[in-house]
Structure 1
Amino acid sequence: MKTIATARITTDVPAQAFFERWADMATWPAWNTDTAWVRLDGPFRTGTTGVLKPKGGPATRFVIASLVPGREFTDVSQLIGAKLTFEHRVTDEPDGRITVAVRVTIAGPLAFLWNAVLGKGIAASLTGDLERLEAAARTAGVTA
């Protein structure tokens, strides 16, 4: 497994606000600049599948591999010969704020190829996407 990119922010926005934005996948293109659209085939929970269409790329199937509400969720996209994994974690800080971290990894026999195709773009956009997600979560009106 190879880590493609990581990003993290520390914020006063409640964790629930981030999870509401993540769960509402139809809104992802508003804060994720590489995404044209996302469709989830059921409720936001472990095992639910969906399809994501990156801008300029083919629609890709994914599954919510794990979900611990308010703490973490992981989605895994199945590429030809590789799996692209996005891990999203929320951690409480001693000062009452939270840290939101995203790690993107790739694994499989063609991971080297997909990393060459996707890696730089994901790495270049991940921090900005997380900052836009924070802004979207802040304006969602969720309070602690």
Structure 2
Amino acid sequence: MKQQPGFGHQLLELAGLIQRRHAQICAEHDLTPAQSLLLCTLKDGPRRMADLAARLGMAKPALSQLIDRIESRGLVRRTTSEQDRRVVTLEATPEGKKIGRALYEDVDARLPDVAAALGPRDRRLFAGLVGSVTLGPGNCPSG
């Protein structure tokens, strides 16, 4: 008799499905998933590098490399505080904001396709449960 996968395995399968779908959408915008997350994080305004590193769960050297690549495309720019030159802020350029908004809208519209097998009632229930998990204690909202 075949054993049913455990809840942890099911969550892992769901994460993989979401990551693959997200990567596909990002590729259509000529971005990597990491670049996508960075632009979506900057969509509401500039962020300090230290805050970005914590929010994205990245070490500062890895974040700097990511920023170097996306900065060379003219999508973000770094600024240094006049009061404390160690404080670096990152903001999206007008082109970065445009691409970030389009990507954010595309992800918001198309990523829910991973739950297409659910009926409308189950999709609403699922969305509520996902919100409870992602906004729960110890979890950082992605927006």
Q: TM-score, with normalisation over the residues of structure 2?
A: 0.30
Structure 1 or 2: more helix by fraction: 2
Structure number with greater Rg is: 2
Structure 1 or 2: more strand by fraction: 1
